[in-house]
Amino acid sequence: MTRRRAALRGVVQAARRVGVQAALRAGVQAALQAMVLGTLPWLGAVAQEIRPSRDFLSPALRAQQDDPSRHPGWLWVDEGEALWRRGDRSCQSCHGDIGGMAGVATRYPAVAADGALLNLAGRIERCRTQHQAEPAFGHESEPLLALTVAVALQSRGLPMAVAIDGPAAPFLAAGRSLYATRQGQLNLSCGQCHDDNAGRRLRGDVISNGLGTGYPAYRLEWNGMGSLHRRLRACSLGVRATQFGLGSPEYLALELFLASRATGLPVEAPGLRR
Amino acid sequence: MTQWNRRAVMAIPALAGLNPRIAAAQSAETAAAPPHGTLAAQPQETFEAAEQAILAGRTPLATGITVDIPPLSENGNAVDVAIRIDSPSTAADHVTAIHLLSEKNPVTRIASFGLTARAGRAEIATRIRLATTQTVLVLAETSRGQVHRASREVIVILGACVDGG
Amino acid sequence: MSLITARITLPATARRGEIVPIRVIVRHDMEREVDAPGLTPVPRRILHSLRVTYAGEEVFRMALSTGITANPLVEFTTIATQTGDLVFEWHEDGGAVYRREARLVVA
């Protein structure tokens, strides 16, 4: 397929997915990707097959995800919103009402001024240590999960729109490379499940496109809330590959790539997952 | 249960209560063993023994009771169950207790509910853990001394008592 | 008595005599006891009882076990008799008691 046809297909598919206004942006993005990133054939296929993560949930689970009175993740939202207001140097003292965070989660992961790639939780930890003069909460801690999901919630329903050019480009390349690399004793790449077999069942679960837009998410298997990196560690374990650390550069780069795959698709946090 | 229109009342989260363990640590006792009077007081009770203990010699009715539980659960960590008993809910005739029993969980008595005539309807719902494919048994006692009984088979694909990381 | 994170759902207002549905979900890990060879023993720590009063009178009670999901969800009904507070009290292994309230306005 020619690059122009791939770009046009991207525009058409994006229009179907997200509506006309956002389609222009998403279509340009897809076209840029097709042109800049080369003619990797599966990228063209990806542009046409990627669906929101909620589409892969059972009707019962999706209904629960949409019901704040029954979805346990909202308990962390409540705690996060309280944390937002807490203390003399609270988040609120700088940022005002948490509603002002609308749109923020759609832009993360993002490259900070010092060149570091930060996801939303990392950005919050930086605020905590650099602006609030407090010790970091720590990866996967309850307060960090609560604050992260409370901030992400303000973007629920908004289309993902991470920057992938400029300083983000090398991180995106690293993430894309990890996504495409066969790993582990099972010798599987992310794409082999999340592109080639999305929608099919694996051990009683339905394989999604692996976008990560529902994170932080409440996973029934965890009986609690967890971050995308925790979920990625479970993926790595699943193919018997080396698990990287929470907040590791490998998972951060992968997170950026997943976010770019989700361009134009809605933030779903707090997600509800098996 | 039926769909309701309602306004959610947001409980103000506690700052100290962010981790219940912080609040609990402030209490004098530590949890070495479950306290008396809780459901784990009979840890080795079998499914059959629990049913017999609740029936206390009464013959249960198979009618007048509805149990909504999915016949197949992909994840035993959170299985929704809703129970309704046909009851006038008057002072003279109302459901006093509903018991939920598990055939194969480590603990047989999942939950018990205490109701009064003020319930208006004998209708409850909750979310349970199931360790594996099994029978779930519901026994409902009334103020007139009757017991309603219903059992349901639930196939569980991923049991509640494993953690895959 | 301590606070706990919980979401209580009930109608804003109700007519006198109306049957009101109530839903509550509470933040608690409901940790099962771990006592197996090769594993570090962990005591059970769950909310073992819930008691709900309405304008001071008990209207609902629940005994919970480790067979209840983490972050327990329960739904029940009560007749709207008067404007008053529904008080939810959870008792935890070890003796801690948590409390939340929600006001039911009855017209």
Confidence of residue A1 (pLDDT cuts 50, 70, 90): low
C20 CB neighbours in chain B (<8 A) are: 120
Q: Given an 8 Å threshold on Cβ–Cβ distance, is A274 in contact with B74?
A: yes
CA distance A224 to A208: 20
Q: For residues A52-69, give the mean pLDDT.
A: 94
Q: Give the closest-approach CA distance of C71 to chain A in angstroms.
A: 6
| Dihedral over Cα of A85, A86, A92, A98: its sign | negative
| Per-residue model confidence (pLDDT) at position C33 | 86
**Chain B interface includes A134 (CB < 8 A):** no
Average pLDDT estimate for A213-220: 96
Contacts of A60 in chain B (CB under 8 A): 70, 80
**Residue-wise pLDDT tens digits, A144-195:** 999 999 999 999 999 999 999 999 999 999 999 999 999 999 999 999 999 9
**pTM of the predicted model as reported, rounded to 2 decimal places:** 0.82
Closest-CA distance of chain C to residue B58, Å:
22
C11 vs B5: CB contact, 8 Å cut-off? yes
**Half-sphere exposure (CA, 13 Å, Cβ side) for A246?**
13
pLDDT at position B135 is 97
Nearest to A142 among B18, B70, B75 (CB): B18
Gap from B101 CA to chain C (nearest CA, Å): 9
> Catalytic residue at A235?
yes
- Return the structure tokens found at B34: 């479950």
| Separation between Cα atoms, residue B97 and residue B61, nearest integer Å | 15
CB within 8 Å of chain C, chain B residues 61-100: 77-79, 82, 100
Contact list, C30 vs chain A (CB under 8 Å)? 223
Q: In chain B, which stretches have pLDDT less than 70? A: 1-43, 161-165
Interface TM-score (ipTM) > 0.90? yes
The answer to whether the peptide bond before residue B60 is cis (omega within 30 degrees of 0) is no
Chain C residue with CA closest to A81: the answer is: C5
CB B164 within 8 A of CB A233: no
Size of interface B-C (CB pairs under 8 A): 191
Active-site annotation holder among A91, A190, A193, A235: A235
Residues C24-64: pLDDT tens digits? 999 999 998 888 888 898 899 999 999 999 999 999 999 99
How close is the nearest chain B Cα to the Cα of A24, in Å? 38
Phi and psi at residue C54, in whole multiples of 5°? -130, 120
Distance CA B42, CA B58 (A): 21
User: Which chains border B (3 or more CB–CB pairs < 8 Å)?
Assistant: A, C
- Using CB atoms, pick whichever of C7, C25, C70 lies closest to residue A224: C70
Q: Residues A100-133: pLDDT tens digits?
A: 999 999 999 999 999 999 999 999 999 999 999 9
pLDDT tens for residues C78-87? 999 999 999 9
**What is the Cα–Cα distance from A263 to A211, expressed in whole angstroms?**
10
Q: Does residue C73 belong to the interface with chain A, where contact is any CB pair within 8 Å?
A: yes
Q: What is the pLDDT of residue C95?
A: 95
Which of A47, A96, A107, A98 minimizes the C-alpha distance to A77? Answer: A98
Q: Do B75 and A143 touch (CB under 8 A)?
A: no
Residue, of C89 and B3, whose pLDDT is higher = C89
Tell me whether residues A75 and C5 touch, CB distance under 8 A.
yes
Within 8 A of C49 by CB-CB distance, chain B residues are 38
**Nearest-CA distance from A65 to chain B in Å?**
13
- Answer whether B18 sits within 8 Å of A204, measured CB to CB: no
C62 or A238, higher pLDDT: C62
Can you give the length of chain C in residues? Answer: 107
Q: For chain A, state the CA radius of gyration.
A: 18
**A242 in contact with B at a CB cutoff of 8 Å?**
no
Which structure tokens are listed for C23?
């839903």
Contact A44, A34 (CB under 8 A): yes
CA-nearest of A169, A162, A147, A145 to A218 is A145
